[in-house]
Amino acid sequence: MLAARAPDCDSGRCTLTLDIVPCSTGWCGIEVANDNTCGGTALTLDAGEAGGATTVYSGRLELARGTEPYVVQAYLMPASGDDKEWLEIQGDTGGEFRIFRRSFPFNAHLIRAGDAICKTEKPVS
């Protein structure tokens, strides 16, 4: 479980918590509500590519149904000193990730908050 929280959050209402689990595309981030119930898949990432000390992933982030999803790049940063391993997600709306595009960018810094409790949906066979 990874969680990001803005410093001005009121009772956790603007907390983003995702369980990152393996799925068919590589990795999926399943939303976890404040009461630890599992929501839908909000984040899909590829298998990742090593880029020096970090691993770089590409994918999509959809935070609300009916809105345009973000095209994202995620960076898994290694633990350093007292800091735990963390995931940086940067994204933008539109067909491809362009960090300096003029639009509504997304940026989150997620750290481990506990073991995953949500799983991806099992395929119907």
pLDDT single digits (tens) 85-122 = 889 999 888 776 666 666 667 888 898 888 889 987 65
Q: Which domain holds residue 34?
A: 2-112
Q: Give ∠ CA 109-54-58 in degrees, rounded to 5.
A: 70
The total number of structural domains in the chain stands at 1
- Whether 67 maps to a domain, the answer reads yes
- Whether 120 maps to a domain, the answer reads no
Question: Are 93 and 103 a contacting pair, CB within 8 Å?
Answer: yes
Q: Please check the confidence at residue 36 and state whether its pLDDT lies above 70.
A: yes
CA distance 123 to 54: 31
- Whether 43 maps to a domain, the answer reads yes
- Whether 34 maps to a domain, the answer reads yes
**Structure-model confidence comparison of residues 27 and 109, the more confident one:** 27
pLDDT of residue 22: 93
- Whether 118 maps to a domain, the answer reads no
- Whether 123 maps to a domain, the answer reads no
Global confidence as pTM: 0.79
pLDDT of residue 124: 43
- Whether 117 maps to a domain, the answer reads no
Q: Please check the confidence at residue 125 and state whether its pLDDT lies above 50.
A: no
